[in-house]
Amino acid sequence: MRETLVIGSRRSPLARAQAARVAQLVRSAWPEIEVETAWMDTQGDRRIDEPLPEIGGKGVFTAELEGALLEADIDVAVHSLKDLPTSLPEGLDLLAVAEREDPRDVLVTPDRVSLDQLKVGARVGTSSLRRRAQLLNVRPDCRPLDVRGNVETRLAKLEAGEYDALLLAAAGLKRLGRLRPEMWFLDPPRWLPAPGQGALGLEGRSDDERVRGLLDAIDDVEARSATECERALLAALGGGCQIPFGALAVRDGESLTLHAAVFSENGDTAVRVSTKGDLRDAIGLGRLVAEELRSRGADGLLTG
């Protein structure tokens, strides 16, 4: 009888693509392993007509999967790492970061224009406080409008004229085969993604050494160090989806440069920091940048 690994995932097309990628990586590393997938609906998937901040932030996409892990119904949960809270339930751990696609956001419009070229008063669809605040910081004349649903639903709403533009993650579009040359990439450090954006986080039981050993083979060391840095910063700030906050750690040889910014919700104030540190102390760099942000006045934005 073949050894089995059961992967848990949300049902959305993007989540299915991510789970399929993890299954492919596991099968390549361990051809003798039977990989199965269990599909689940989360609160965030069911309550698609409500803004994310109103229904609980990050945990709305992870709680059901974590419950299945704790009940041993699945062996590993696949998450978009940006959706996974920095504080995990007792008994669970981030066992691996499988890989990271392009972490940047993109501006999607019917007629490829840059953020600076959007018409005055443009209606821009986003369900993210971070994207909303950055948009208003760069283009205070634009009108950020909430948009929920999967990527295909959002693109259909753009094509129907409900929005003039959308702000989306490049990684999700690429994994779905929907990334196009006419989409405008928003480059750091002027525009920063969510911590962990583009990376796949593999969550499992802390004491499950069998699964930990299997996932070690697909753990991406570079992606893990960068996202550990970004998540350490987020944890030190004590936040999640409720903070208009962006961060990206970029490797240069044996160093990491962490770019970070905290915004007021209306975008009129931003506190920015870019600091270089040792690649071997990614978590320490994240905590250091949190202190620098606070010393420059970010506390007022975090609690305001």
Residue type, 53: P
Token output for 284: 């320490």
List Cα–Cα distances, 179 to 48, 144, 201, 232, 304, in angstroms: 23, 22, 22, 30, 36
Residue type, 260: A
- Which of 83, 105, 164, 208 is catalytic? The answer is 83
Provide the sign of the torsion angle of the four alpha carbons 253, 173, 83, 38, taken in this order: negative
Quick one: which H or E segment has residue 255?
A: strand 255-263
Residue that is written with structure tokens 């009129």 in the block: 268
Distance of CA 109 to the CA centre of its chain: 22
Q: Please choose, from the candidates 169, 154, 166, the residue with its C-alpha nearest in 3D space to the C-alpha of residue 112.
A: 166
Q: Please choose, from the candidates 121, 125, 168, the residue with its C-alpha nearest in 3D space to the C-alpha of residue 146.
A: 125
Q: Please choose, from the candidates 222, 226, 237, 224, the residue with its C-alpha nearest in 3D space to the C-alpha of residue 287.
A: 237
Is 141 part of the annotated catalytic residue set? no
- Angle (CA) 56-62-63 rounded to 5° is 75
Token output for 264: 């007021």
Q: Please choose, from the candidates 169, 225, 196, 220, the residue with its C-alpha nearest in 3D space to the C-alpha of residue 22.
A: 220
Q: Are strands 34-40 and 4-10 parallel, antiparallel or unpaired?
A: parallel
Neighbour tally for 268: CB within 10 Å = 11
Q: Hey, which residues are catalytic here?
A: 83
